[in-house]
Structure formats: structure tokens, C-alpha cells
A and B are shown apart, each in its own frame.
Chain A
Amino acid sequence: MAEVVLDAKGLTKTYGDMNAVDNLDLQVFKGEVYSMLGPNGAGKTTTVEILEGLRNPTSGTAKVFGFDVQKDYDKVRSRVGVLPQTFEPWDRIRPPEAIEYWAGLFGRKISKKEIRGLLEMVDLAHKDNVWGERLSGGEKRRLGIAMALVGEPELIFLDEPTTGLDPQARRGLWEIIHALGDAGKTVFLTTHYLEEAENLADRVSIMNKGKTVVSGSPEELVNLYGGGTHVVLKSAGEEGFVALEKLGYKSTFHNRDVTVHVPALMRTKDFMAQINQSGVAYKDFETRRPSLEDVFFNMVGGRMEEGVLKQ
């Protein structure tokens, strides 16, 4: 069993009469990329900041590397890198200076070459003469990531690192996060992009209204809660539709195509064998695997667009 890096039990944070985080349990293991997925106001940042020792929970406990976040965080700070959701660099500090500053705070002597390497990694090497205030939103975020990494942390918190970035910049960040995962770092990532979680995370928890709705690896979640595969039988016609209803499958008929919902526990291969045997005629077929999006829809009861939950 891998080492437990983050361990929260019954974590609750109350504002007024609202529980921003509501009796949350979570465990993150060493070397994992863990993604917390949820709409605006789900309680992601609140959870993250409690785990970073930057807010106190109303009740419950959280441990990082086995140390209590409220009492003993000082013992592990140097092992943790943080990119806050609202990260801003200092106005009048240039990227290489910011990196050097942060290295110093982590007690690390850093060479010009290493600074350059880090800036190249986040694609900021060409901006080394620009003040923080002049960087674009995406550039600021990338500088923040470089700063979070300069202390060579074992655990990295990234709170919505890609929100508001263009697709290309987002892909660039995904590559960095992949590389971190490959390097054996533990990454705690929050996002409201389903494809981001699906793409990056070893494990995902879907959060809504302060509670974990479901958690597990993306494959597990899709298998369990994605609602099975959809198979489209091209030009199967009305006869096909009737035949499938008779076989007991839920289908829809549209434009001479029949879309069949194959239950989650059935293999597509077995389904196709059964159809071919029953003599239903069709020209071709397509399958559509469910994604985390379907999981989200099925479990939360809405779709998410740029973090906004649409019921």
C-alpha cells in the first residue's frame, strides 16, 4: 500500500449557516495525481486551503505527511508547493527574480541555469525582463507554477491552474502536470474541466455543495456511473428499432439510425454478437463510450460550463 500523503477525516468548514465543506473524507497517496472536480462554490478552494494550512477547519482533522495541518504544518511546509487559485506575482519583480526569491524562501541556492531551466519548462524564458504586473494572465499562472515547483516539493497543490487559459496554454500546462506525475510527485489538482480531470488524474473526486459525490479512478467512475456504452446502428430502420425493443434494450430512433444503450456491465463485443445473431440489418455501427461528463451528469444532475452548473 502506498504511503498516505493527504488524509482528511470529517473535514467541515462553516460560513454562517452554510457548510462550504461538509464532513469531507479524503485520502491521497504518494505519487498520485488527484483531481477534485466541481462547479463554482463546491468548496474546492476551501478544502485546498485547509489542506495547505492556510485556513482552519470548523471541525474534522487533516494530516499532511502524517502531520496535523493546524498544529504541525511548519514541519512539512518545505515539502509542499502551492499555486493558489488567485495567484498574482509581485508587480515589480521579474520572473527570474521571483524564482530566486522563492528558492531562497525554501532555503535553496539556485543557479542562473536552474532558474532558466524552470522558466523554460513553463515557457517563460523569453519574458525574463518583464515585471510581474506586465505578464498576461496565463503567463502569471505559469510563473506561479514555476514558483510552486522551485522548492522541489513532494506534494503540489494546483488550484484551478488552467481556468481562463486558452486551449493551447491549457495543453501546455497539462504536459507539465503529466511530467510531474511521471516524476513521482503527488499532485492535488482542482478543476471544473471534466476532460482535464479525465486526462490528468489517477483518481478523481466529484464535489458538489461541500460534499464528495463520488470518487475513484476515471475508468472506474465511467464504468460504474457513466451509464454504459451507446451503440449507433446506422440505417437499421424502424424494423431494427422494433427488434431491439423486443430484445429488451432501451433505444432511440433518429434519422433511420438506432442508438442503443448498452448497460454498463455488458461488454460491447457480446452485445454486437447478439445483434448479429438476431439478424438485425444495419449498414455500419459506431460506439460512443461514456465519459466523466456522463458520470457528472448522472451523479450531479446537471452539466458544467466554465464552472457554472446548468441543471
Chain B
Amino acid sequence: MSRMIADFKAFGLAYLRSRTGFFFALIFPVILILVFGAIFSQTGTQKIDLPVQDLDNGTWSQTYLAKLNATGAFTIDMISPDVDFNRYIKDELKVLALQIPSGFNESVNNATRGHGPPATIILKGDPTNTYFTVGMGVANAVALQLNSTVVAMVQTENLGSPQYTFIDFFVPGMIAFTALTTPMFSMSSICSEYRNRGFFKLLGSTPLKKSEWLTAKILWYTVLMLASIAIMYVVGIAAFSAHFTITPMAILLVIVGVFLFTSFGMFLGVFVSNPESASALANAIGFPMMFLSGIFFQLESMPAYLQYIAKALPLTYLAEGLRATMSLGNDVVAATDLVILLISGLILFMIAARAMSWKGK
């Protein structure tokens, strides 16, 4: 334990004094957040995403939906009547969603004949959101024009605000990404540097154990990551009024993520002979992962075959888990991701610790 602390202290000191490592761990993610946040946070003129659940499925509801679609304001996504709609909206963080109640056809027919009040269409979601207001306007206008007299109206149902913005999506992804780059890039080059400069032999001549050395590295990167998270959190809130929170589950995920990617970096370092090729290799692996694991773009917006690749990448699970716990408050999803990461981390750690040797040839 004292050996590990000694190693932790010396390594941390040297790390802080090398400014590049420091830059990539703490400053670089902030720059990315500011740049991408500024680009993607604009409310564009794109269509509004609208899930629709038609519980009636009669002629009138179909007519209504066809007219709604014809406005071009929405991308309509039909949700099966079996789905618990409120739950769906919450889980998927929809700002607005439309439900046509059963008996809609009959109500419209009755209203047409003057035998009853106008039928209702329910718009659920977050009334404080601008998209909701816009969507409400369009949906109601279409309802009012369904027939020559008013036969249907839109009523709203407040489901509270998911308030999930791009930055809420992006910052947890960025945290995941930093948890990958910081340990992986630096471990892979450290391993080859230590081998080439005889530092492993030097350490090997002391009572320090390989596992203690590794643990000290993991500990150091964890501390660094916690500092990085704190900074990203402050920047996200201050610059973009983000809504995510730092949860205990998020901390756990980051620790396990650091553990996994430190092991992975060490694994890479075992196989490359010099620090330059080690960092080239880490880049070659790290950057595609960053795009494939849905750090910048939602996985759902990618082609299916890329989604399969994404499912095989650990970063995907870290990003997903962090988003789930930090932005969506869904610790069940996050816990599943945690388990996946922990298992793959343990496997990688064992492979790497075995492959790495401090002995000379």
C-alpha cells in the first residue's frame, strides 16, 4: 500500500509537470464541448420529431394523421397501441408526443352530427419547451380544420420537462471519451517508454509489484478524471445551462471506465516498441471509437452495420451509461453498462498484466 502511494505520488508529479498530458486530460475536452456545443445547440428549422400512438385507428384518426403529415412540420413515428405511452415518452425523452384516444372516430362522427362536444386529441410532453408550443399550434390547427365544423381539438397533458438538450447528450459522451483518451493514450506510450528507457527494469529491481504499479496508474487517472468531470460539469452548466447531474453511479462508471482503458492502453503498450508508434496506434484506435460510439451523433442515426460495430465497443457502453445516469436519471440502464464494462475491464486487465513483463530478454 505504501509502495503504491509512493508510486502514485511520483507519477502524478511527473504527469502534472508534462503539460501535454495535462492539456489533453483537462483542457481539450472543454474546448470540444464549447465548439460542438455551439454548433449543435442551435435550434434549426428541421422537422419536429413526433411519436404518435393511435388507440382508435379509425378513418378519422387516419385522416387527421395524414393531414398532420402533410403540413411537413413533423417527422411522425407510429408507436404501437400496446406501449405504455407516458413511460415511453419519459424514457425516450420526447419533448412532445401525440395520442389519439380510443373512440375518437365515434366522437368525431357524433360531433359532426352536432350530438356531442369535439373529440379530443392529446398532446403530451413538456409545455415549457418551444418545440412543444410550435407542435401544439400545428396539431391544433390541423384538428380544427378536420371538418367544416369544429369536430376535434388538441388538449395538452403536461408530463413535466425532460429538458434533454444536445449538451446533455454531449457532455456525458465527452466524459466517457476523456476517460478513454487520457488513460489509454498515456498508458500505451508510457509502457513503451518505460521499456525503452529501462524504467521497468529499475522498478523491477524494487519491491514494487506490477499490480501495485498498475493500481497506482488507475488511481491517478481516476483522480484526473474526477477533476476533468468537475470542470466539464461547470462548463456545461455555465455555458449551456445543461441539466445533467453528477451521480454516484456516474463516478462508479468513470472509475470502471478508467480501469478498462488503462488496461487497454497497457495492452497496446506491450506490443509496440516506441512511444511514437504507441500513440499513433492509440490514436488510430481511439478516434474511430469516438465517432462510432455515439459521442457526437446518436447511435440511432447511424447505419445499421455501424450500430453493430458500436455495440462491440466498450466506449459505447460507457457513454450510454453516463448519459443514462447523468442526464436521464436512469440508473438501471447505467448499472447494466457498469457490469458490462467491469467484466470487459477485468478481462483486459488480466490479459495486459500477464502480457506485460518487467523482465528483460
B208 at the binding interface (Cβ < 8 Å): yes
B202 at the binding interface (Cβ < 8 Å): yes
Q: Dominant SS at the B interface? A: helix
Q: A104-B3, A104-B5, A105-B6 are in contact. Are A77 and B13 (CB under 8 A)?
A: no
What does the 1/0 interface line of B149-185 toward A look like (CB < 8 Å)? Answer: 0000000000000000000000000000000000000
B115 at the binding interface (Cβ < 8 Å): no
B197 at the binding interface (Cβ < 8 Å): yes
Q: Tell me the smallest distance from the CB of A40 to a CB of chain B, in Å.
A: 18
B206 at the binding interface (Cβ < 8 Å): yes
Q: Once the chains are docked, how many angstroms separate the CA of A74 from the CA of B3?
A: 14
B16, closest chain A residue (CB): A92
Q: A55-B360, A55-B361 are in contact. Are A77 and B207 (CB under 8 A)?
A: yes
Establish whether residues A105 and B207, one from each chain, have CB atoms under 8 Å apart when the complex forms.
yes
A248 at the binding interface (Cβ < 8 Å): no
Establish whether residues A104 and B9, one from each chain, have CB atoms under 8 Å apart when the complex forms.
yes
What does the 1/0 interface line of A82-126 toward B look like (CB < 8 Å)? Answer: 101011101111000110111111110000000000000000000
What does the 1/0 interface line of B183-227 toward A look like (CB < 8 Å)? Answer: 000000000000001110111111111000000000000000000
Q: Which of B7, B10, B358 contacts A97 (CB 8 A)?
A: B10
Establish whether residues A104 and B360, one from each chain, have CB atoms under 8 Å apart when the complex forms.
no
Contacts of B301 in A (CB 8 A): none
Q: Which of B17, B197, B203, B206 contacts A151 (CB 8 A)?
A: B206
A98, closest chain B residue (CB): B10
B7, closest chain A residue (CB): A105
Contacts of A98 in B (CB 8 A): 10
Q: Tell me the smallest distance from the CB of B255 to a CB of chain A, in Å.
A: 24
B359 at the binding interface (Cβ < 8 Å): yes
Most chain A beta-carbon neighbours within 10 Å: one of B199, B201, B206? B206
A108, closest chain B residue (CB): B2
Q: Once the chains are docked, how many angstroms separate the CA of A90 from the CA of B6?
A: 14
Establish whether residues A90 and B205, one from each chain, have CB atoms under 8 Å apart when the complex forms.
no
Q: Once the chains are docked, how many angstroms separate the CA of A54 from the CA of B199?
A: 12
Q: A101-B10, A105-B207 are in contact. Are A86 and B2 (CB under 8 A)?
A: no
Q: Which of B5, B13, B204 contacts A54 (CB 8 A)?
A: B204
Establish whether residues B205 and A54, one from each chain, have CB atoms under 8 Å apart when the complex forms.
yes
A49 at the binding interface (Cβ < 8 Å): yes
Q: A101-B7, A107-B3 are in contact. Are A77 and B205 (CB under 8 A)?
A: yes
Q: Which of A82, A88, A90 contacts B10 (CB 8 A)?
A: A90
B42 at the binding interface (Cβ < 8 Å): no
A268 at the binding interface (Cβ < 8 Å): no
Contacts of B209 in A (CB 8 A): 74
A80 at the binding interface (Cβ < 8 Å): yes
Q: A77-B206, A105-B3, A105-B206 are in contact. Are A92 and B198 (CB under 8 A)?
A: no
Establish whether residues A80 and B205, one from each chain, have CB atoms under 8 Å apart when the complex forms.
yes
Establish whether residues A101 and B6, one from each chain, have CB atoms under 8 Å apart when the complex forms.
yes
Q: Once the chains are docked, how many angstroms separate the CA of A201 from the CA of B134?
A: 92
Q: Tell me the smallest distance from the CB of B351 to a CB of chain A, in Å.
A: 22
Q: Once the chains are docked, how many angstroms separate the CA of A82 from the CA of B203?
A: 10
What does the 1/0 interface line of A24-60 toward B look like (CB < 8 Å)? Answer: 0000000000000000000000000100111110000
Q: Once the chains are docked, how many angstroms separate the CA of A87 from the CA of B203?
A: 11
B18 at the binding interface (Cβ < 8 Å): yes
B70 at the binding interface (Cβ < 8 Å): no
9 residue pairs of the A-B complex, CB under 8 angstroms, read: A55-B361, A74-B207, A77-B207, A84-B198, A92-B13, A92-B18, A104-B3, A104-B7, A105-B206
In the complex, besides A54-B360, A97-B13, A104-B10, 4 extra interface pairs with C-beta distance below 8 angstroms are A49-B360, A53-B205, A82-B205, A91-B14
The 10 closest A-B pairs by CB, nearest first: A104-B6, A82-B205, A101-B10, A92-B17, A105-B206, A92-B14, A77-B207, A55-B360, A78-B207, A105-B208
